[in-house]
Amino acid sequence: MSRLGQGLIVGVMLVIAVVIALNVSKVATVWDKVRHFYFEVIAEMKKVSWPSKDHVVGSTILVGVATFGLMVMIGFMDKIFGWLVALIFTA
Confidence category of residue 5, pLDDT binned at 50, 70, 90: low
**Rounded mean pLDDT, 15-39:** 76
**Rounded mean pLDDT, 70-88:** 96
Residues 38, 55: Cα–Cα separation, whole Å: 29
**Rounded mean pLDDT, 39-62:** 93
Q: Is the pLDDT of residue 38 over 70?
A: yes
Q: Is the pLDDT of residue 72 over 70?
A: yes
Alpha helices (runs of H) in the chain, residue ranges in sequence order: 3-47, 53-90
pLDDT for 52:
94
Handedness of CA 51, 57, 62, 64 (dihedral sign): positive
